[in-house]
Amino acid sequence: MRQSSLVVVANRLPIDDSVAPDGACEWRRSPGGLVSALHPLLRHTPATWVGWAGGTGPAPSLPDIGSVRMRTVPLSSEDFRDHYEGFANSTLWPLYHDAVEQPEYHRRWWEAYQRVNQRFAEATAEAAEQGAVVWIQDYHLQLVPGLLRELRPDLRIGFFLHVPFPPPELFMQLPRRAELLRGMLGADLIGFQRAQAAHNFAQLVAKVLELPATDRRVGVDDRVVRIGAFPVSIDTAEMAALAGRPDVAARAQRLRHDLGDPGHVILSVDRMDYTKGIEQRLKAYSELLASGHVKVRDTVLVQVAVPSRERVTQYQILRDRVEREVGRINGEFGRVGEPAIHYLTQPFDRAELAALYRVADVMAVTPLRDGMNLVAKEYVAARVDDTGALLLSEFAGAAAELPQAYLVNPHDLEGLKQGLLSALEADPADVTPRMRAMREHLHRNDIRAWARSYLSALDDGGSLLTHLAPTG
Ligand code: ADP
Ligand code: G6P
C-alpha cells in the first residue's frame, strides 16, 4: 500500500460512502466542527486521512479526493453501538462538557473503545511512511497515540482535542482515567483549544500518574511531551468570499423577503446536541415574546438544528423536547403565515449557510459548554460589511478570542434575555467596531494559522508546512 508523510487520523472521514450513482465522489462536509476545520486545510495537501465512513460492516474503499487518500476503518454494529454511541458519545462527550447530561459508564463500552482504538492505530501504522507526521484528532481516539508509538516509534505523533478537557474533579469520575491519560501521552505534542484545558491535563497527569508536569510539558519515561493551547479556526477567506458573492447576497435578500421582511432576524445554527443550549435559548425567546419585549411581526428566530447521533437516547429526548417547544411557541405566538420560529433540520451547503449568516442581524450562539464553536466564527467571517451582532456564550471556547461579542451566561435566563435584547437593540455605532475587530482577529487567526502553529510545534517547522497555502 502507498504511504504518506502526513497522516491525519479522525473518527469521521470528511466523506461517507454515499458516492453518487455515476461513481463520482465529492467532498461531503458532514455538519460538525472537526470536518469543517480540517477539510479546507487538507484539500490541497498530500496526505492520508484515516477514519470511519459512517456505516457499519466492512470498510468501503473510497477514492482519493484531490491530494488526500482516504483510508477507511470499519466499525461493526457492536463497535458503532459501544464505541461511537457508547464510550465516545455517552461517556466522554457528556463528561467533557461539564456533565450537562449524566455520563454513563459500562465496562463493555470501554472494551469496544480499546478495540477500535487498536484498529485505528494499526491502520495508521500501515499508512504512514518512515518518519511521517501523524496527527490524531479528538476524544474518540485518545488511546491511539500510545498504541501507535508502540507499533511505530519512528513517527512524529500529534494529538489534538477539539472538545473541552474537563477539570480534575469531573475527569476523576472516569473508571479508566489512568489508561486514557497514558494513551494521550504517547503523543509528542498534545493540543487543546484553551490554556485552561492544558492546565487541567497537567494537574491530572501529576495527580493520577504521578508524573512531573507543568502547563507546557510532561516528563514520561525518557521523553518530554509538550502540551499547549491551539485554538482551532475556520477558512475565514473562503467564508468571506462566499458571503460576498452576488448570488449569495441575492439569496440573502430573497430569504429576508420570504421571512416577511422583519425588522430583526435572529439566527441559530447547531447540531442537535444538549451542549448547545437550544432549550434555554427557546425559553428565553418565549419569555421575551410573552412579555411583549419582542413582537412576532418585527422579529423572527430561525433555528437550524441538524439531527446528530440520532440513536442515542439523550439526543432523542432533546429533539422531542425542542420540537414540542417550537410547536408550543409557534402555536401560542405565531400567526397565519408568520411563525415565531422558523425551524429547520436540514443540512445546508456552504453557500446557503453563508446566505443565512448574511441575513441574520443577530446570531445567537449560546452553548452550555463548547470546545470552540466554529459557527460563531463563520458568522463573523460572513459579515463582510461589518454589521451584525454576535450573542455568544461565555462557555464557548470562541469567547476567549472574541471578547467583542455580546457575551452571556446561558444558564442565567434573565441574563440571556437581556443579552438577546441588547443585541437586538444595539446601535450600529456599537455593532460595527465590535464586528470589525472580530473580523480582523479571524483574518489573522484562520485555519491555516492554526495548522501552521500546531504543525511547526510538532514538526519543528518541518517540511509539511510547505504544503499549506498562506493565510489568505
Ligand atoms: P460542533 O463541532 O459541535 O458541531 P461547531 O460550531 O464547531 O460545532 O461546528 C459545526 C459545523 O457544522 C460548522 O462548520 C457549521 O457550519 C456546520 N453545520 C452546522 N449545522 C449545519 C447544517 N444544518 N448544514 C451544514 N452545515 C452545518
Ligand atoms: C464535534 C466533535 C467531532 C465530531 C463532530 C460531529 O465537532 O468534536 O469529533 O465529528 O462533533 O459529530 P459526529 O458524531 O457526527 O462525528
Domains of the chain: 4-232+447-462 (3.40.50.2000), 236-443 (3.40.50.2000)
Q: What φ, ψ does residue 335 adopt, rounded to 5°?
A: -130, 170
Is residue 148 within 8 A of residue 134, CB to CB? The reply is yes
Q: 375 CB less than 6 Å from ligand 1?
A: yes
Pick the more confident residue, 68 or 236: 236
Q: Chain-centre distance of CA 179, in angstroms?
A: 25
Q: Which residue has the cell 472580530?
A: 438
Which of ligand 2's atoms lies nearest the C-alpha of 309? 14
pLDDT tens digits, one per residue of 138-177: 999 999 999 999 999 999 999 999 999 999 999 999 999 9
Question: How confident is residue 124, by pLDDT bands cut at 50, 70 and 90?
Answer: very high
pLDDT at 304: 98
pLDDT at 459: 85
Distance between Cα 163 and ligand 2 center (Å): 9
Which of ligand 2's atoms lies nearest the C-alpha of 35? 10
pLDDT at 472: 43
Please identify every residue annotated as catalytic: 162, 370
Question: 34 CB contacts (<8 Å, ≥6 apart)?
Answer: 10, 12, 137, 138, 162
Distance between Cα 29 and ligand 1 center (Å): 9
Hey, what's the cell of 109?
A: 463500552
Residue 466 has pLDDT above 60, yes or no: no
Q: 138 CB less than 6 Å from ligand 2?
A: yes
> Which residue's alpha carbon is at the smallest distance from atom 15 of ligand 1?
375
Residue 123 has pLDDT above 80, yes or no: yes
SS3 labels along the chain: CCCEEEEEEEEECCCCCCCCCCCCCCCCCCCCHHHHHHHHHHCCCCEEEEEECCCCECCCCCCCECCEEEEECCECHHHHHHHHHHHHHHHHHHHHCCCCCCCCCCHHHHHHHHHHHHHHHHHHHHHEEEEEEEEEECHHHCCHHHHHHHHCCCCEEEEECCCCCCCHHHHCCCCCHHHHHHHHCCCCEEEECCHHHHHHHHHHHHHHCCCCECCCEEEECCEEEEEEECCCCCCHHHHHHHHHCHHHHHHHHHHHHHCCCCCEEEEEEEECCCCCCHHHHHHHHHHHHHCCCCCCCCEEEEEEEECCCCCCHHHHHHHHHHHHHHHHHHHHHCECCECCEEEECCCCCHHHHHHHHHHCCEEEECCCCECCCHHHHHHHHHCCCCCCEEEEECCEHHHHCCCCCEEECCCCHHHHHHHHHHHHHCCHHHHHHHHHHHHHHHHHCCHHHHHHHHHHHHHCCCHHHHHCCCCC
pLDDT tens digits, one per residue of 377-432: 999 999 999 999 999 999 999 999 999 999 999 999 999 999 999 999 999 999 99
From CA 420, how far away is CA 123, in angstroms rounded?
Answer: 48
pTM of the complete model beyond 0.85 = yes
Residue 43 has pLDDT above 80, yes or no: no
Hey, what's the cell of 369?
A: 459548554
pLDDT tens digits, one per residue of 320-368: 999 999 999 999 999 999 999 999 999 999 999 999 999 999 999 999 9
- The whole-chain average pLDDT of the chain stands at 94
> Which residue's alpha carbon is at the smallest distance from atom 23 of ligand 1?
347
> Which residue's alpha carbon is at the smallest distance from atom 4 of ligand 1?
32
pLDDT at 461: 56
pLDDT at 440: 98
Distance between Cα 293 and ligand 1 center (Å): 30
Which residues are 228's β-sheet partners?
Answer: 191
